[in-house]
Structure 1
């Protein structure tokens, strides 16, 4: 249904802004939104030196525009007024949660690694990533007239699945293949992101504190960071954490009343999150 377009527009709005914040130049194997506009500016107005500012400006406004567009599929739908009102509230809350999650991530990024806990990380990704999983599914549950009990279980399920997705994404961001992922590898190391990999590894190897987010970090030092993640078993433990959360989500799914095809859809979604290729 076209209503689902709304959350996809919201998702892409957040990605455009995220690429600006993280200084990522590629997305889905193509230049990221703001970089594409930098390139356009450079090609068409090469006599100036404002291409980066132009690209960032277009990225900010482009993301905002997609966010605004996301309301239209909800407001123009043929559902009852009370459903539309609730769907809009879910949409607004999702974006608010994403913003709060990214704000918290930015705060954590500027703290010494030793001050950031696993609890901090999980709280951050619940806003940054899980919120969109949750509100997308709750909009569907709203339309499907699910019971309050099932909505509550779906909310719990979605928040867990979103966390598992982000943990796996953080692993891919260090140990994945750029060509396959379609986005930069190692940017989390360069940006000094306080991922679960880093939090776990820092407990056993304090060298990480001086390497993570180091200005002008070398390729050799990046390889050292990756090796630290392996040697301290941070990689192994992070994978296990994702698996534990996935299993919690599976257990909750079993408690929800669905038709077989819908249950299979969610089961396949869990498999996708669990087995994303590294």
Structure 2
């Protein structure tokens, strides 16, 4: 079984497998954007979780590299299309596909990525193929549902806490849950363990998004690597804004509305003013409390697993803790 020193080996093996995927073809205008986006890297958290979950039960994780890579291809497909919808100029510090090529190319290339993701799942053993595809199809639809809700909420003045949490569950957390669940299914784990791993991924996925929301406002500027307060400037519906809208009354409410509706403003002044409102309403503390609750719910699921590979379990926990404690 793996130990801490082998995590980098697994990451390297996974990355080599991803880079060796057959994602090229003709016309080049259709396939070049795919290899470009996949070549930009990323943390590869989702396929890594699949491999770590599989390894809780079996040692030969190399056998499931292709379906794990399929999850990463799907994830990047969603990013390619999300960037078009968000009109985002950069992805991982480089030009987005729709900026480097055009919107139509990015749409069509993304469509092919979804097809390629399903193709990679065909490497799954016959006894697990139907269940895996059913779970993947359900998850893929939920991710799209989450993205649509996200777009819907940007047009609304008020979004409830429950609505926001459900949106990030669909848009972000279900794919993390599925990544872990797939590893368990492919390893022949019990239904109970697969369910516990799914719930673990769901809960930490929500916690990770809350962490992202927090970092955008409260991160150390030197460590964050991008503009602090970008979500505030974009009036993005984060948990912090949703909670502030819910709690603000009187002058605080009027001030928040003023900044949200302002068309001309000094960016630094707006970030400073809205952050001060968050501080006044103790939004940071409330977000951290909820985030910690979700992390605790997630880790509680791991204690219910029936696995003998305690080192592998510790590795999964360590990886999650490191992500939870990140500063960028």
* TM-score w.r.t. length of structure 2: 0.72
Question: Are 2:206 and 2:294, in contact at CA under 8 Å, matched by a contact in 1?
Answer: yes
The yes-or-no answer on 1:35 pairing with 2:99 is yes
The answer for the alignment partner of 1:230 in structure 2 is 279
Judged with a 3 Å threshold, the aligned counterparts in structure 2 of structure 1 residues 272 and 167 are, in CA distance, closer, same or farther, namely same
Structure 1 residues 159 and 214 mapped into 2: Cα distance closer, same or farther (>3 Å)? farther
**Once the 2 structures are TM-superposed, how far is the Cα of residue 185 of structure 1 from its aligned partner?**
4.9
Give 1:109's match in structure 2, choosing from 154, 157, 164.
154
- Asked if residue 240 in structure 1 is aligned to residue 289 in structure 2, the reply is yes
- Partners in 1 of 2:105 and 2:233 — Cα distance? 25
Q: How many residues are treated as equivalent by the alignment?
A: 257
- 1:29, 1:181 within 8 Å by CA — same for their partners in 2? no
**What are the Cα deviations for residues 44-78 of structure 1, in whole angstroms up to 9, with x where unaligned?**
xxxxxxxxxxx222222232222221112111x1x
Partner of 1:48: none
C-alpha distance in structure 1 between counterparts of 2:270 and 2:230, whole Å: 13
With over 3 angstroms needed to count, the CA separation of the structure-2 counterparts of 1:179 and 1:144, relative to structure 1, is farther
Aligned ranges for residues 262-277 of structure 1 at < 5 Å? 262-277=312-327
RMSD: 2.2
Query: Deviation at 1:35?
Result: 2.2
Distance 1:184 1:178 in 2: 7
SS of alignment partner, residue 212 of structure 1 = helix
After superposing the two structures, state which structure 1 stretch, 88-97 or 173-182, moved more. Answer: 173-182
Name the residue aligned to 2:81: 17
Q: Deviations over 1:76-99 (max 9, x none)?
A: x1x432312222222222211111
The structural deviation recorded for 1:147 is: 0.6
Unpaired runs of at least 5, structure 2: 1-64
Task: Identify which range, 145-154 or 174-183, moves more after superposition.
Answer: 174-183
Q: What is the CA-CA distance between 1:217 and the residue it aligns to? A: 4.9
- Residues in 1 aligned to 2:108 and 2:201: alpha-carbon distance in whole angstroms: 29
Q: Indicate if the aligned counterparts of 2:181 and 2:195 stay in contact, CA closer than 8 A.
A: no
Distance 2:112 2:222 in 1: 29
Matched with 2:57 is none
The alignment status of 1:98 with 2:143, answered yes or no, reads yes
| Worse-superposed segment, 170-179 or 10-19 | 170-179
Give the whole-Å Cα distance in 2 for the aligned partners of 1:119 and 1:264. 32
How many angstroms does 1:273 deviate by? Answer: 3.3
SS, match of residue 91 in structure 1: helix
TM-score under structure 1 normalisation? 0.84
Partner residue of 1:44?
none
Deviations 1:105-130 (A, max 9, x none): 111221113xx211111111110001
- When structure 1 is superposed on structure 2, of 61-70 and 182-191 the one drifting more is 182-191
Question: 2:124 matched to 1:66?
Answer: no
1:32, distance to aligned residue in structure 2 (A): 2.3
Q: Distance in 2 between matches of 1:167 and 1:213?
A: 24
Q: Residue 164 of structure 1 is aligned with which of 207, 214, 217?
A: 207
1:159-238 paired onto structure 2 within 5 Å: 159-176=202-219, 185-202=228-245, 203-204=247-248, 205-206=252-253, 207-212=255-260, 214-215=262-263, 217-219=265-267, 220-238=269-287
Where structure 1 has 5 or more consecutive residues not aligned to the other structure, the ranges are 38-54
Cα distance change, pair 184–57 in 1 and its aligned pair in 2 (3 A): farther
- What is the CA distance between 1:222 and its match in structure 2? 2.7
